[in-house]
């Protein structure tokens, strides 16, 4: 498909040479290119279609990259990547050695801050703005944050801090795609936004304020009157209370409003807040109709849309979702808690069947954990469904609000280990290490789908904080028993009997360890429990084998292998141990199998590492 305007844009400097009348045709071309590109590669889709005009307007008005642009999460940055010199590499999106799915500082000077988690943009941009002021620079700093990200406490902490610094230039753009606010968008609101951001209004406001300073009663009356008028005409004066000059809401797809409003705001000093309204999937009817389905896509045909996925073996996420519903039927004390990841954590069916026992607390991982602790104090049995990478954000609450009080909260930790195309920001590389050192915590790692179901049941029966960590995607494909069976606490099992070498594998590493064990004629143990570790099995294997190998899909430092070495040392054993796991570096995005092979955690890699280390 020809893209006559887009073909001329290699950097935002090229964009800024366009006549304003060319911006709308450019937006149409950019949206068409995204449809063509993402339908071939897969990736985040609906949110990127919704941010086309905003991206064009920001790069058109501001002098990026000298003006700092910080995106939140990064789901909506594909248009940004296209306009900042990476269009020719969009076919490598999220592939090994290709473009990252999120902003990445190493990838481009236009990616001023690496992101992947929610609600960091305001804090980062505020830090950049303050640094710019300290150096005496005149650059502008812009944070783009979505309405969902505003549910996180970190965003409001940053607003409190930034709004208190009236001498620091910062623009926060709230990209709001909630349909409930769309009636507030129209010609009058667009006019109001231009008026409130214009120099005439600001000059009148500032001059009037100085005149009235010596007449406090009248000054207070006028201030309150202004707030009431703006509160009547706009959704809220909340952000004014934070210390920001609030403008909006305006139509985020209307370049005729966006561009002059941004220009006006660029000329102002101090903290500014622009509220825009966009539509996820804008310009592609199927994505507009089902933005959740089209949030992240696999390759599809644009004319037909995403085809229904063929039936396959269940993912670990689906195993958890089914267990949650089955367990809830048996025990009315069970509640499910998610920090805004209903679909990702497999809780859609649970919400439908048990709406009064389903809690989505928004993107507020810290609150999710403390909230669960409060419920557990009152005899409720909370299950917190959370990605490994997001649990990192609630570490303090995990220690102080749950573990210290030994509260029976089950943590269903999804996306443990490497996660493929989403890369290091989403990888669950550290949970075994950061959980294992917490007193009162119990940690289980299933080797297959049925073991996952039974481990979740076992964890739910325990009267202490317990974590079951499982990977993204599918497992070996074993049959899943409907009946629940509690596993013996702190007991592993020997899956293969061999000679000389014993491979002690945790969770996902059992399957490749068994293949390596066949090639080496090694004993293979499915350890099941990371904490409490099966010390008796460890000593038994140490007594009967010359060489011990631990394998885990977690950082080697402080992980399950470290637990084994600690146990051997405490028992007075002097054995040579080889620890295999994730290296002391971040593993780039790519195909999951390729990532594991790169880390030496596929069957061939495990075998090769053992042969090399022990000279066999």
Catalytic center residues: 280, 365, 393
Alpha-carbon Rg for the chain, nearest whole angstrom, is 27
DSSP string, 353-418: H-GGGEEE--S-HHHHHHHHHHHHHTT-EEEEEEEHHHHGGGHHHIIIIIITTT---EEEEES-B-
Q: Could you give the 3-state DSSP secondary structure of residue 229? A: helix
DSSP string, 87-140: GGGGGGTTSTTS--SS--TTT-TT--S---SSS-HHHHHHHHHHHHHHHT----
* Residue 321 near residue 347 (C-beta atoms within 8 A): yes
* Residue 336 near residue 324 (C-beta atoms within 8 A): yes
* Residue 387 near residue 428 (C-beta atoms within 8 A): yes
Q: CA–CA separation, 377 vs 387, rounded Å?
A: 24
Q: Could you give the 3-state DSSP secondary structure of residue 69? A: strand
As to burial, measured by CB atoms within 10 angstroms (0-12 exposed, 13-18 middle, 19+ buried), residue 88 is: exposed
- What tokens does 365 get? 């991982």
DSSP string, 437-480: TSTT-EEE--SSHHHHHHHHHHHHHSSS-EEEE--SSB-S-PPP
Q: Where are the beta strands (DSSP E) in 515-575?
A: 523-526, 529-531, 547-555
């Amino acid at each position: 498909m020809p893209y006559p305007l887009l073909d001329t844009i290699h950097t935002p400097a090229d964009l800024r040479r366009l006549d304003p009348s060319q911006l709308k045709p450019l937006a149409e071309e950019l949206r068409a290119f995204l449809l063509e590109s993402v339908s071939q590669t897969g990736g985040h889709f609906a949110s990127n279609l919704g941010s086309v005009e905003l991206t064009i307007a920001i790069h058109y008005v501001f002098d990026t990259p000298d003006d700092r642009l910080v995106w939140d999460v990064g789901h909506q940055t594909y248009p940004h990547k296209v306009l900042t010199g990476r269009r020719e590499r969009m076919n490598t999106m999220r592939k090994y050695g290709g473009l990252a799915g999120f902003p990445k500082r190493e990838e481009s000077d236009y990616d001023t801050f690496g992101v992947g988690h929610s609600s960091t943009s305001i804090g980062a941009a505020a830090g950049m703005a303050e640094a710019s002021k300290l150096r005496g620079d005149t650059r502008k700093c812009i944070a783009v944050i979505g309405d969902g990200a505003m549910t996180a406490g970190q965003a409001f902490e940053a607003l409190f801090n930034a709004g208190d610094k009236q001498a620091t230039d910062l623009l926060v753009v709230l990209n709001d795609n909630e349909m409930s606010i769309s009636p507030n968008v129209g010609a009058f609101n667009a006019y109001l936004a231009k008026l409130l951001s214009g120099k005439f209004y600001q000059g009148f406001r500032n001059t009037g304020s100085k005149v009235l300073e010596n007449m406090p009663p009248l000054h207070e009356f006028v201030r309150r009157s202004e707030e009431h008028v703006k509160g009547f005409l706009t959704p809220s004066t909340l952000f004014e209370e934070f210390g920001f000059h609030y403008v909006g809401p305006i139509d985020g797809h209307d370049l005729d409003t966006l561009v002059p409003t941004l220009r006006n705001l660029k000329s102002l000093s101090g903290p500014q807040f622009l509220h825009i309204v966009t539509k996820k999937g804008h310009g592609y009817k199927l994505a507009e109709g089902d933005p959740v389905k089209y949030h992240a896509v696999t390759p599809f045909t644009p004319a037909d849309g995403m085809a229904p996925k063929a039936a396959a073996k269940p993912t670990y996420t689906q195993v958890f979702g089914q267990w949650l519903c089955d367990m809830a039927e048996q025990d009315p004390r069970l509640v499910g808690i998610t920090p805004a990841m209903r679909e990702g954590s497999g809780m859609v069916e649970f919400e439908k069947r048990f709406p009064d026992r389903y809690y989505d607390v928004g993107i507020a991982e810290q609150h999710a954990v403390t909230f669960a602790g409060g419920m557990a104090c009152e005899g409720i049995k909370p299950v917190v469904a959370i990605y490994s990478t997001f649990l990192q954000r609630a570490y303090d609450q995990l220690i102080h609000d749950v573990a210290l009080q030994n509260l029976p909260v089950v943590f269903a930790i999804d996306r443990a280990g490497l996660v493929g195309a989403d890369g290091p920001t989403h990888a669950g590389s550290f949970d075994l290490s950061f959980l294992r050192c917490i007193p009162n915590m119990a940690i289980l790692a299933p080797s297959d789908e049925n073991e996952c179901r039974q481990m979740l049941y076992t964890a739910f029966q325990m009267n202490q904080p317990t974590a079951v960590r499982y990977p993204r995607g599918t497992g070996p494909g074993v049959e899943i028993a409907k009946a629940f069976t509690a596993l013996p606490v702190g007991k592993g099992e020997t899956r293969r009997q061999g000679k000389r070498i014993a491979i002690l594998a945790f969770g996902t590493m059992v399957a490749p360890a068994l293949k390596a064990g066949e090639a080496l004629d090694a004993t293979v143990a499915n350890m099941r429990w990371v904490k409490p570790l099966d010390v008796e099995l460890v000593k038994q294997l140490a007594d009967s084998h010359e060489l011990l190998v631990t394998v885990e899909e977690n950082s080697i430092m402080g992980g399950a292998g470290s637990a084994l070495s600690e146990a051997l040392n405490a028992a007075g054993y002097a054995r040579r141990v080889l620890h295999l796991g994730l290296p002391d570096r971040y593993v780039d995005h790519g195909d999951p199998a390729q990532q594991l092979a790169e880390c030496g955690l596929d069957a061939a890699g495990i075998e090769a590492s053992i042969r090399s280390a022990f000279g066999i």
